[in-house]
Chains A and B, each alone.
Chain A
């Protein structure tokens, strides 16, 4: 892709699109505050739903991942709304820009959103709910798990967000499709982060879950790259 001048165009296009997305969110913050607020509210809900003032281990991991996943669903549903409502997508498709640039810029935007939400949600989680504290080593390991899971969530969210925006049932159908697809991510991420959040402390990161996350990211990344074009060829 980088051999031809077209590769440069793609890279430039990705950069431009990315700037556009981030500028839009900075000018009129809509999605990010909603996602962050939703996460914190969900922690409060869990405090009462579980009737626990602090959680650890498997439960902590479950609470964290359910919250982040649902917040991500919230964000994925909004990913194309601005383009769709203001006709931005049509303008983009008219421009001589690779569809791949659109995929990459949307996925990276969503990834940035997810990371930013986690920067807010994770400290909130530690303060509000987590029983045992986190050592710097734990935080680094957790960040790795979060990042690898985020890549998978971003890819699925971008692909299926694009699919759902064209349907009559948009917000209804997106989580229905994306949640089962993200079960492997949740399995691996929850399993990998449970020992980090346990009171006994973690011995080491279970490599096989990270490997699975990596495989998932790779497979669906390539798949999204292969099929994304077909969503926009009217």
Chain B
């Protein structure tokens, strides 16, 4: 609005045009950030499941053989 006072002819329109450009850019980047958050979430669950799966595949040798299996195998 201050700009509009300094440049009377059509500066509101000019401002609007540049705002459109930056708004589009912002919307696009916003969507990208949103999608990246989703990806991050998937990666988190993925690593959690991987942890769990590792625990599960490592677990049978622990349970199946008799007690004399050394404990350090799990590590």
Are A and B in contact, CB atoms below 8 Å, in the complex? no
